[in-house]
A = this chain, B = another copy of it.
Amino acid sequence: MPAASPATLQAAQAAFADFTTGLAKGDWQPFLDRVSDDVAFWFPAGPCKGHNQGKAKLAAFLTAVPKVFAGGLTVAVVQITSSDTTVVFEVRSTGTMGGEPYENQAAIAFDIRDQQICAYREYLGVIFQLGH
């Protein structure tokens, strides 16, 4: 299995930094600027559950995040793994959902083509609803 090239890793990490800014502050344009027009994305739940395609659909999905997590989500990277085309970030995120403290683990995979994100897959880990 070839390791990721430095350019692939750099593209993924720059995109992930902009992704975390989006989650924290709701400003998604820097992340979207790194995404291909035909981006494919998979999400485990909600209105975009399953397979989705296209930057416009991803933009609509991401801009709805602050409605779910008022005050934003803070993401800490726990592990990074990669292949020649894919970089996976295992993360912990904390925030507030429905007025209650929220903490989650997730794995977020970016596929990279020409230093753009051409696929984004999210997998949910342990969801702690700390208020319950």
Interface of A is mostly: strand
CB closest chain-B residue, reference A48: B126
The answer to the question of A3 belonging to the interface, with a C-beta cut-off of 8 Å to chain B, is yes
Once the chains bind, are B123 and A50 in contact (CB under 8 Å)?
Answer: no
Identical copies of this chain, number: 2
Among B9, B43, B88, contact of A88 (Cβ-Cβ < 8 Å): B88
Residues in chain B near residue A42, CB distance under 8 A? 105, 125-126
Q: Closest CB of chain B to A118's CB: distance in Å?
A: 13
Residues of B near A56 (CB, < 8 A) are none
Q: Which of A9, A44, A80, A105 gathers the greatest number of chain B CB atoms within 10 Å?
A: A44
Closest chain B CB from A117 CB (angstroms): 15
Q: Is A83 an interface residue (CB 8 A)?
A: yes
Residues of A within 8 A of B (CB): 1, 3-4, 9, 42-44, 49-51, 79-83, 86-88, 90, 105-107, 109, 121-128
6 pairs of residues in contact across A and B, judged by CB atoms under 8 Å? A1-B4, A42-B125, A79-B109, A82-B82, A88-B107, A107-B107
